[in-house]
Amino acid sequence: MNKKVFEGIKVAEFAWVVVGPSTSRYLADHGATVVKIESHKRLDTNRINGPFVGGVPTPDGSMFYGKHNPNKYCISIDLQHPNGRELARKMIAWADIVTESFSPGTMEKWGLGYEDARKIKPDIIYFSSSMQGRGGPHSSYAGYGQNAVNFSGFSEVSGWPDRLPSPPYGAYTDYVSCRFAAFALMAALEYRRRTGKGQYIEQSQFESSLQFFAPPVMDYQINGRIMGRNGNRYPLAAPHGVFQCQGDDRWIALAVMNEDQWQSFCRAIGKPELAVDKDFATFADRKRNEDALEKIISAWTIKYSVEEAEAILQKAGIPSNVVEKPSDLYKDPQLQHRKYFVPMDHAVMGKQKYEHQACFILSKTPRELYMPSPCIGEHNEYVFKELLKMSDEEIAEHLIDGSITSEFTGSMTSSF
Amino acid sequence: MSTINEEKSALSHVRILDLTEGGCMLGGKLFSDMGADVIKIEPPGGSPSRIPPYYKEIEDPQKSIFWFAYNTNKRGITLNLRTPEGQELFKKLAKTADVILESFGVGYMDSLGLGYKEISKIKPNIIYASITPFGQSGPKAGYKASDLTLWASGGFLNDCGDPDRAPVWIGFGPQASFFGGAEAAIGAMTALWYRSRTGEGQFIDVSIQESTMSSNMNVLPMWDVNGVEFKRVGAVSFVAATRVRQPIYFKCKDGLVMILALGGNDPYASSSERLVQWMKDEGMCPDWLAKLNWWKDYNAAVLKQDLADKVGQAIEAFTMTKTKAELYEIGAFGKYKQILVAPVSNTRDISEDIQLKARQFWVNLPHPELNDSLPYCGPYIRMSETPITLRKRAPLTGEDNRKIYLGELGLSDASLKALQDKGVI
């Protein structure tokens, strides 16, 4: 049995919702000990929003929360309470890495900011993530990835030229941002290993997300071109699109990337004459007549089930794929082969399928999901006694004064 | 052009050989911007990733803005891996490297005798990351794929678009490959940490299909937990349980804004109340809306479609009297502070954004051969001890051939010339 990669690395996670929790999963899924610091008085937004097992909202019943938090422990403390903040300081003293994603200034107000943390733990690596970063006129901006997907440019360029944008679903930029953060945390660990120094890592999710959108922005700044919308078309390929097949809302994505593939495509759809047709023979012809070309392809795809169309095109060597629905993904043989979904037994939700966060498999130390997402406060005893070595009396005092929270009395009313 | 301060660099001791193409080149950039020595290897004649847009619209591979964006701080050499001499040179380079990143098809590097198995014989602690559409093995490992088809394979394509038309991708296309490149970089960092503890290298098998999947947010468990098969909803917020479509995108004078005009719980309900207050102050709030209880009457459990539509129309009548900038500045930062509003920005809006300017995000890098200096996206994250710095523009094809082949591998001028004549370099 190989050692776990990040065995011994300790993360105190004050961060919530998506970016911070997704970031720490890269460490947790390779062996780090991650403790989430939550409160019954202010539930993680993901605990309030479903899907809920059984359809009834409860703080421990959301697989939206579940998805972002397997392999982690959870304690419940009230950071508004001075004795809760005392516990938070103990967690910082215990940790190698602190993550937080409150509005800028909140942790500082509580005496838990980076400058406070390094007094407690001089080599701490402290990660703050916010929508638009520290400093500047928009630093206080509060929101979600759902907001950032718009001001980062992704919405404007997505959809049809004759309509308003079709923005990317949900909190897309959160899933972009967490990648940069995970890489940076590991680089900071490496720097600390070599020098003994910790540091402060500060993320503007806006700035991280723009890395996935840099060429269009540079194109404006250099050439003055404002990027618009063009459906599923791509300047360097034709045909390139999503076409309807038989069945209920079934679609296939296909892309003909070069001339060889075009020849093969024409034969595969039973129209070898297209390859020499003056309207479609060359790439330039196909671009010029793309509307007509797409009509011809639609007339072909609609005769087949989406699986048949994919099989015919793959056999011909054409990049193509069923537009997979959630129900397809859970039975996708490739995902099964790589064991992407891992069933685990959750105390309240029962057996649930968790997704890997790391999308890579290391040959000697493969990713591992071994513990379901935590119920709120589930590991209070373990963390306070075993990790922080607190006595039963001390713990009891925190329970009595309410700085360890144990009861949820708020509203589980969902907003979406 | 500044040089790197090794004291202040997290990864200056790490060398990467970068054989990736397209969006996967982002993986090498994560390393090079963090201070690692990344050598980008192109085939003689130049990489196929030198694609549009082009500097001043001049169709020249050396003027590819796409290439510029994802190869900052890298050095560049040419090498023909399909020749025996090229393969020998690659092995010599591999002996000096810590990490190899590549995005060729499954088995291609093996077929050249340059796969992990061969390289680990001559450099046992090498970390070798292969990015492929579906991973190294399994029923779809041999599938032909592109960014669009991979977007379909991970489910996110199904989530996006208007319900009455085809699902639609993100208009700037290489998103799937960006995720693949980023995952390879994180995987390689993970393996570097393991190597620092054990001395051992390993192979990293990245699947782009998987890399696109976390973006599905709550859509997958909606099916698995509640049996709700999500269908794209366009520019609205969708209540899975009741299928009510809540309007959150509103036209304004000069474009479109998103306002998360939702209720039920905070921060949404309070934000919506502040919006209603603003509408009242401007005399644009119908009485029924002023009386609406955003907690009780507008929560997901009880909300009906006709009320959602009515609220949406009232809000849009108000937003149509304002610009994007007014709604954003006043709504999010001004008098009505922290209304959950975001402008739908285009590439000009982003370029003029006052927050990015205040944080000095844009960095100009000199391009001496263009006699110009070009604006780049700045650091992807800010680090206090080891700041990410943009030091140097992307390499021209073969720009560092002499420095690396002569200076570091010890080739003679004559043999470099001979290899160039034979098309190896």
Could you give the number of structural domains in chain B?
A: 2
- Classify residue B381: in a domain, yes or no: yes
Rounded CA gap, B271 and B266, in Å? Answer: 8
Q: Which of A48-52, A227-231, B270-274, B398-402 has the lowest mean pLDDT?
A: A48-52
User: What residues of A are in contact with residue B347 (Cβ under 8 Å)?
Assistant: 153, 156, 216-217, 219-220, 225-227
DSSP string, A164-180: SB-PPSSSHHHHHHHHH
Residues B50 and B170 occupy one common structural domain? yes
DSSP string, A36-63: EEEBTTB--HHHHSSPBGGG---TT-BH
Q: How confident is the model at residue B6 (pLDDT cuts 50, 70, 90)?
A: low
Contacts of A236 (CB under 8 A, 6+ apart): A257, B51, B52
Q: What is the pLDDT of residue A112?
A: 98
Inter-chain CB proximity A227 and B171 less than 8 Å: yes
- Classify residue B226: in a domain, yes or no: no
Q: Can you tell me which residue has the tokens 């009386």?
A: B291
User: What residues of B are in contact with residue A211 (Cβ under 8 Å)?
Assistant: 26, 178, 377, 380
Q: What is the pLDDT of residue B4?
A: 60
User: Which residue, among A184, A286, A167, has the nearest Cα to A236 in the 3D structure?
Assistant: A286
C-alpha R_g of chain B? 26
**ipTM, two decimals:** 0.98
Residues B53 and B139 occupy one common structural domain? yes
Q: Does B4 touch chain A (CB under 8 A)?
A: no
Q: Is the pLDDT of residue B301 over 90?
A: no
Average pLDDT over residues B143-167: 98
B267 preceded by a cis bond (ω within 30 of 0):
yes
Residues of A (262-321) whose Cβ lies below 8 Å from B: 314, 317-321
Inter-chain CB proximity B196 and A257 less than 8 Å: no
Residue B334 sits in a domain whose CATH number is 3.30.1540
Q: Is the pLDDT of residue A260 over 50?
A: yes
Q: What is the pLDDT of residue A3?
A: 84
- Residue A220: helix, strand or coil by DSSP? helix
Q: What is the pLDDT of residue A310?
A: 98
- Classify residue B227: in a domain, yes or no: no
Average pLDDT over residues B39-43: 98
How long is chain B? 425
Q: Does A403 touch chain B (CB under 8 A)?
A: no
Over residues B347-403, the pLDDT tens digits come to 999 999 999 999 999 999 999 999 999 999 999 999 999 999 999 999 999 999 999
Q: Does A240 touch chain B (CB under 8 A)?
A: yes
Average pLDDT over residues A194-204: 97
Q: Does A196 touch chain B (CB under 8 A)?
A: no
- Classify residue B228: in a domain, yes or no: no
- Classify residue B252: in a domain, yes or no: yes
CATH 3.30.1540.10 fits A240-329, yes or no: yes
User: Which residue, among B48, B32, B47, has the nearest Cα to B392 in the 3D structure?
Assistant: B32
As annotated, the residues of chain A forming the CATH 3.30.1540.10 domain(s) are 240-329
Alpha carbons within 13 A on the beta-carbon side of A330:
15
Inter-chain CB proximity A180 and B380 less than 8 Å: yes
Q: Measure the N-to-C terminal CA separation of chain B; round to a whole number of Å.
A: 27
Average pLDDT, chain A: 96
- Say how many C-beta atoms besides its own lie within 10 A of residue B139's C-beta: 12
Average pLDDT over residues A212-236: 98
Residues B62 and B207 occupy one common structural domain? yes
Does residue A174 carry a catalytic annotation? Answer: yes
User: What residues of A are in contact with residue B161 (Cβ under 8 Å)?
Assistant: 159, 166
Rounded CA gap, A31 and A26, in Å? Answer: 9
Residues B137 and B265 occupy one common structural domain? no
Average pLDDT over residues A278-301: 98
Residues B164 and B123 occupy one common structural domain? yes
Domain boundary at B313, B346, B379, which?
B346
Residues B342 and B376 occupy one common structural domain? no
Residues B338 and B413 occupy one common structural domain? no
Q: Does A147 touch chain B (CB under 8 A)?
A: yes
- Classify residue B206: in a domain, yes or no: yes
Report the residue of chain A nearest B329, measured CA to CA.
Answer: A138
Q: Is the pLDDT of residue B3 over 80?
A: no
User: What residues of A are in contact with residue B160 (Cβ under 8 Å)?
Assistant: 158, 166-169
Q: Does B373 touch chain A (CB under 8 A)?
A: no
- Residue A159: helix, strand or coil by DSSP? strand
Over residues A1-37, the pLDDT tens digits come to 568 999 999 999 999 999 999 999 999 999 999 999 9
Domain boundary at B346, B372, B390, which?
B346
User: What residues of A are in contact with residue B179 (Cβ under 8 Å)?
Assistant: 176, 179, 359
Residues B259 and B178 occupy one common structural domain? no
Rounded CA gap, A329 and B93, in Å? Answer: 40
* Cβ atoms of B377 and A210 closer than 8 Å: yes
Q: What range does the domain containing B25 cover?
A: 6-214+360-421
Q: What is the pLDDT of residue A1?
A: 53
- Say how many C-beta atoms besides its own lie within 10 A of residue A400's C-beta: 10
How long is chain A? 416
- Classify residue B131: in a domain, yes or no: yes
Inter-chain CB proximity B154 and A324 less than 8 Å: yes
Q: Which residue out of A43, A115, A151 would a mutagenesis test of the B interface target, given it has the greatest number of B Cβ atoms within 10 Å?
A: A151
- Residue B423: helix, strand or coil by DSSP? coil
User: What residues of A are in contact with residue B258 (Cβ under 8 Å)?
Assistant: 146-147, 150, 155, 167
Taking the CA of residue B412 and the nearest CA in chain A, the distance in Å comes to 36
Inter-chain CB proximity B198 and A211 less than 8 Å: no
Q: Least CB-CB distance to B384: which of A200, A229, A230?
A: A200
Over residues B402-425, the pLDDT tens digits come to 999 999 999 999 999 999 999 999
Over residues B156-204, the pLDDT tens digits come to 999 999 999 999 999 999 999 999 999 999 999 999 999 999 999 999 9
Q: How confident is the model at residue B265 (pLDDT cuts 50, 70, 90)?
A: confident
Rounded CA gap, B17 and B37, in Å? Answer: 9
Taking the CA atoms of A91, A96, A101 and A106 in sequence, report the sign of the dihedral they define.
Answer: positive
Average pLDDT over residues A94-112: 96
Options A174, A249, A285, A392, the catalytic residue: A174
Q: What is the pLDDT of residue A84?
A: 98
Inter-chain CB proximity A321 and B143 less than 8 Å: yes
Task: Give pTM, 2 decimals.
Answer: 0.97
DSSP string, A348-407: TTEEEEEEPS--EEESSS-----SPPPPTTTTHHIIIIIIS---HHHHHHHHHTTSB---
Residue B403 sits in a domain whose CATH number is 3.40.50.10540
Rounded CA gap, A223 and A220, in Å? Answer: 5
As annotated, the residues of chain A forming the CATH 3.40.50.10540 domain(s) are 10-212+338-400
Q: Name the CATH superfamily housing domain A10-212+338-400.
A: Crotonobetainyl-coa:carnitine coa-transferase; domain 1 (3.40.50.10540)
Residues B133 and B272 occupy one common structural domain? no
What percentage of chain A's residues is helix, strand, coil (to nearest 5)?
40, 15, 45
Residues of B (235-254) whose Cβ lies below 8 Å from A: 235, 237-241, 246, 249, 251
Q: Is the pLDDT of residue B1 over 80?
A: no
Interior/surface letters A44-60, b for 16+ CB within 10 angstroms, e for the rest = bbbbbbbbbbeeebebb
Work out the widest C-alpha separation in chain A, in whole angstroms.
86
Residues B123 and B187 occupy one common structural domain? yes
User: What residues of A are in contact with residue B223 (Cβ under 8 Å)?
Assistant: 325-327, 330
- Classify residue B147: in a domain, yes or no: yes
Q: Which of A165-174, B6-15, B40-49 has the lowest mean pLDDT?
A: B6-15
Residues B69 and B194 occupy one common structural domain? yes
Report the residue of chain B nearest A210, measured CA to CA.
Answer: B377
Residues B13 and B121 occupy one common structural domain? yes
Average pLDDT over residues A42-61: 92
